[in-house]
Chains A and B, each alone.
Chain A
Amino acid sequence: MTEKPDANAVLNDRRLLLLSPRDNVAAARQTIAAGERILIAGQLVTVAQDIPSGHKVAVRPIAAGEKIIKYGAPIGSATRDIAPGQYVHTHNIKSDYLPTYTQRGPV
């Protein structure tokens, strides 16, 4: 099992931005539409739903309960298993401090 994702392969997809080699999520530089294919750790993955500009994509398998790492630091924990190439947001991660609010209340 590899500890680190293949950072170069991720960076070869110009639509994605990996902020730290430790990260298990990358940011989308531009909106990636559902059905488009992205290069994750050397594998082409078809995106299941739109990933808006700035939002996050998993770059390696993340197990439920595992920390989400961005900027090389934890930004919360996975609430379910997340596969590489999947959209990462409030539907599958949560804060380790305080709930996140949307206009429809806490998630």
Chain B
Amino acid sequence: MTTTVQGFVRADGRKGIRNILVVAYLVECAHHVARQIVAPFADQSVHLIGFPGCYPSAYAHRVLQNVCTHPNVGAVLVVALGCESFDRAGLAEAIADSGRPVATLVIQEEGGTSATVAAGRRWIAQTLPELDRVGRAEMELHELIVGTICGGSDATSGLTANPVCGRVFDMLVARGATCIFEETGELIGCEQHMASRAVTPELARLLIDSVEKAARYYTVLGHASFAPGNAEGGLSTIEEKSLGAYCKSGTAPISGLLKPGDIPSGGGLYLLDVVPDGPVRFGFPNIADNAEIVELISCGCHLILFTTGRGSVVGSAVAPVIKVCANPETYQRLADDMDVNAGRVLQGEATLDEVAAELFELVLAVAAGKQTASERLGHQEFLLGYKFFEPTPAVGAAGRCAVFAPPA
């Protein structure tokens, strides 16, 4: 790295780029109490995450557990109402096994709202000094996992910000980092080209299957992953949006297909399949961009490259989000929310390679602790809903994630 990154070393050996205490509510009924617990610590890297549903979900458990044991997270306070389905003991055990301080507050046992809020705030005040003592060690690029997503896309996204992101992905992968792109519903029309980049024929087949599954899913729902703003921004069809979005993946070979919660290791480029398996149930696969960001974080992403044309302002809990603005007119209006102005390419003021070099340096700086625009503005969105996934086919490799290329 040209910038030295001092990672936060966790007991499980993974390294983070932030040192966050998360408060996790396990049902919407505990959301307000958890939010009240966090309120006084807004400026102290205490983030609120959670799951609203009362019914059980293996998917939600896996994602929330992975976020709670993410390398950017140093301690966890679990807040339950008491009667919800979420296996709070199993969650707390997994967090404790990862070597992180963890406490569970059950509102029905603590004595209600005020008592739980007071107990939660006491625990955080006690635990923050412990977090400050976490060890630091140099972090190499091959230890970094970077995800990408586009949101609020318009026709400039695929001309500037997405190709810039693709170039940065190529630079990262070439240096041993792990990169993840996603949203198979926004790859409809790109499946054959994507298959041609797969490292094995079996993976090529799986990549095509994953996009065909997304097309089937959206056909049943009667709606593509396409917002009215996309059309106003000049995107006429899902295929056009897809081709623009696909540029984010760069040109590296595709090493594997992940499902939410699969954490790749050993570097390379991966596709995250975010569309559920089996018959259509629980509604739209991702009701908004932050649901996909949470899934990327559950796969170990330390930071997220977010490209936008129309102008999204979101950030995320747990992982910094770098906002790359594709449209120069949007940048004029929303500059305070943006980290990189890729729209300069359209105006002939910079080349794709120049903006990519700028973004690459920013990735290193953010990994080293520099605040992104959304972090500075206090964005900590978190969205987790219901889905169902079959276990990831472990074709050609050990472990749950479909890794096809052996680590270099």
Interface on A for B, CB 8 Å cutoff?
14, 17, 19, 27, 29-30, 52-56, 68, 70-71, 73-76, 88-90, 93-103, 107
Contact = CB atoms under 8 A, between A and B. Distances in A.
Contacts of A70: 240, 243
Contact of A29 (B189, B223, B231, B346): B346
B215 A98 contact: yes
Contact of B159 (A17, A68, A73): A17
Given A54-B234, A76-B239, A102-B228, A97 B189 contact: yes
A75 B219 contact: no
B160 to A, nearest CB: 9
A29 to B, nearest CB: 5
Given A68-B236, A75-B243, A96-B237, 14 more contacts: A14-B348, A17-B159, A30-B346, A52-B234, A54-B154, A75-B240, A89-B234, A94-B237, A96-B189, A97-B224, A97-B237, A98-B188, A98-B218, A100-B224
Contacts of A89: 231, 234, 236
Interface of B: prevailing SS:
loop
B226 interface: yes
B155 interface: yes
Given A53-B156, A54-B156, A76-B240, A102 B234 contact: no
A30 to B, nearest CB: 8
A97 B215 contact: yes
A54 B159 contact: yes
Contact of B231 (A53, A88, A100): A100
B54 to A, nearest CB: 32
A58 to B, nearest CB: 12
A17 B188 CA distance: 24
B277 to A, nearest CB: 20
A71 B158 contact: yes
B239 A96 contact: yes
A97 B226 contact: no
B322 interface: no
Contacts of B223: 98, 101
A97 B239 CA distance: 8
B246 to A, nearest CB: 9
B327 interface: yes
A90 B159 CA distance: 19
Contacts of A68: 236
Contacts of A17: 159, 346
B187 to A, nearest CB: 11
Q: Which 8 A-B pairs have the closest CB atoms?
A: A54-B155, A95-B237, A55-B234, A75-B240, A98-B224, A76-B237, A103-B228, A54-B156
A68 B347 CA distance: 25
A27 B240 contact: no
A101 B237 contact: no
Contacts of A96: 189, 237, 239
Nearest to A95: B237
Contacts of A71: 158, 243-244
Given A56-B155, A73-B243, A75-B243, A100 B189 contact: no
Interface string B384-400: 00000000000000000
8 contacts: A30-B347, A68-B236, A89-B231, A89-B236, A90-B231, A90-B237, A95-B224, A101-B227
B189 A73 contact: yes
B240 A102 contact: no
Contacts of B193: 73
A19 B218 CA distance: 28
Given A98-B188, A99-B224, A53 B327 contact: yes
A56 B239 CA distance: 14
B237 A75 contact: yes
A54 B329 CA distance: 11
Given A95-B224, A97-B215, A76 B233 contact: no
A53 B329 contact: yes
Nearest to A72: B243
Given A89-B236, A90-B236, A27 B159 contact: yes
Contact of B238 (A52, A56, A73, A100): A100
Given A53-B329, A54-B156, A54-B309, A95 B228 contact: no
Contact of A101 (B159, B219, B226, B328): B226
Nearest to A51: B234
Given A56-B234, A76-B237, A97 B188 contact: yes
B189 A56 contact: no
Nearest to B231: A102
Interface string B144-161: 000000000011101100
